[in-house]
Amino acid sequence: MKLDEKDLMILDLLQQDANMSNKEISDRVNLSMTPVYERIKKLMTTTVLRQKVYLLDRRKLDLNLMVLVSISMEKHSNESALLFMEEIQKFPEVVECFHVTGAFDYQLKVMVRDVDHYHEFNFNKLATIKGIRHMESYFVMKEIVNTTRLPLFL
């Protein structure tokens, strides 16, 4: 799907506030409400807009520690990869998991209450996954950039 400047403006506004009304959007992008409605409908139909969600403040939910975990696997077989990917999705503490290139095979972003909670997660959940050869944990000291907003280019 080819996006034009107006589509990108609408997407940018919706990334800032998914609850923004069509009226507010139409005022900002200099279109009437009907074309804005039609464009948003088209963006949803083509799944450029996938879903509307609320962003939660993790600290207000007592998730004070973010840990990045690098994992390397013993074997690089399809079976091993599928098993890991299936198992890792069972843990609510894992909010992101990426299959990566380089020295490690997977990179996780884990949210927990504190170091004790991470220790419990690491030993009682993560370490139970078969085939993990090595793990390295990095405790996030400060978040410099943390956004769900994607860069939009014409």
pLDDT tens figures, 50-86 = 999 999 999 999 999 999 999 999 998 999 999 999 9
Q: Which domain holds residue 135?
A: 58-139
* Residue given tokens 């884990």 in the structure block: 110
Strand boundaries in the chain, DSSP class E: 65-73, 94-99, 106-112, 132-139
SS3 48: coil
Residue 30 shares a structural domain with residue 64 = no
Domains: count for the chain: 2
Residues 62, 40 share a domain: no
For the chain, give the number of residues. 154
* Domain-embedded: residue 147: no
CATH number assigned to the domain comprising residue 24: 1.10.10.10
> Which CATH number fits the domain that encloses residue 65?
3.30.70.920
Do residues 72 and 130 both lie within one domain? yes
Question: Vertex 17, ends 67 and 49: CA angle to 5°?
Answer: 80
Residue 138's pLDDT band (cuts 50, 70, 90): very high
Full-model pTM:
0.89
Residues 35 and 62 in one domain: no
Mean pLDDT of 142-150: 95
pLDDT at 154: 76
